[in-house]
Structure 1
Amino acid sequence: MARMHSGGKGRSGSNKPSVSEAPAWSATDKKELEDLIVSLAQDGNSTAIIGTILRDQHAVPDVRLVTGERISQTLARNGISPRYPEDMMNLMRRALSLIDHLAGNRKDLHNRRQLELCESKIRRLARYYKSNGQLDENWVYKRDQLRLMVE
């Protein structure tokens, strides 16, 4: 798939090897792993950070091979899902930092353009999540209320 706001094709990068079961050397106790995921989420870690911690500190290369579901699905099943999806929250944090930057640097036209592109991605994701049922149907992105949503 092509990049959204640039001329690149966007196909470089590595792919994960296609395997169907966890390696023998990894931690494969499903119940213990779910408890660890829940405790890490209650400490305030995002799903990406949880995956990194499990990979680096607990020898779990891929949670899906052990539990059969994604980390976010495990959290949703245990009732710990966040209010907004993680990718959308990261974009909203980026937009907020760009707004703060532009408050002190009003003539920075390049970052004003980047803010417009970031807000465009937020609206596009919102449309997807509304149709998917993960976001309320009457939710609207508003720049002046962004700080309340992120914090």
Structure 2
Amino acid sequence: MARMHTRRRGSSGSDRPATDDPPEWSDVDAEAIEDRVVELAEEGYDPSQIGLKLRDEGVQGTPVPSVKAATDKKVTEILDENDAAPEMPEDLYNLLEKAVNLWEHVDENQQDHSNKRALQNTESKIRRLANYYRGDAIDEDFEYTYENAKELLE
């Protein structure tokens, strides 16, 4: 599939196995996985970082290749059930962080036209994503501005 703001196509990533069952070598209990997910969230990790930690470190020394295959729930669903979900969706938060950094860079370097264009593209993605999340994950009256983004990130 083509990229949003370029004419290039990205290289494809690796495919997950077609099976929905967890592998035999990873026989960790679903309750232990859920407890570890909540514990990592309380330590301040994002949902994507939690998945990486479980893949690399595992639960009680046994790696968990896929939380969804082992528990039949996504990491964000587990966090929602245990009231440990982040206030804002992770993808929107990361885009806001990127926009604030670009805004500050462009403010200092006004002749940097390529980063001005990158800021425009990032702000466009934020507005599109905010429309998707509006009413469910973010407030109905959320409006993207640099000041609002900076305030949300603090």
| Shorter-normalised TM range | over 0.9
- Equivalence map 1:40-79=2 (5 Å): 40-58=40-58, 59-79=63-83
User: 1:69-127: per-residue Cα shift (whole Å, max 9, x none)?
Assistant: 11011001111111110001011111111112112211111101100100000000011
CA deviation after TM superposition for structure 1 residue 148, in Å: 0.9
Moved more, 68-77 or 14-23: 14-23
Other-structure match for 1:36: 36
Other-structure match for 1:145: 148
Query: Which 4+ residue blocks in structure 1 deviate beyond 3 angstroms?
Result: none
Other-structure match for 1:125: 129
Other-structure match for 2:13: 13
What is the letter of the counterpart of residue 91 of structure 1? Answer: L
Alignment length, in residue pairs?
150
The verdict on how the C-alpha distance between 1:11 and 1:128 changes in structure 2, with shifts beyond 3 A counting, is farther
What is the letter of the counterpart of residue 145 of structure 1? Answer: N
* TM value normalised by structure 1: 0.93
Computed over aligned residues only, the root mean square deviation of the Cα atoms, in angstroms, reads 1.3
Moved more, 3-12 or 55-64: 3-12
Identity %: 39
CA deviation after TM superposition for structure 1 residue 27, in Å: 4.1
Unpaired runs of 5+ residues, structure 2, are none
* TM value normalised by structure 2: 0.92
CA deviation after TM superposition for structure 1 residue 28, in Å: 2.2
- In structure 1, how many angstroms separate the alpha carbons of the residues matched to 2:73 and 2:119? 34
Other-structure match for 1:98: 102
CA deviation after TM superposition for structure 1 residue 14, in Å: 1.9
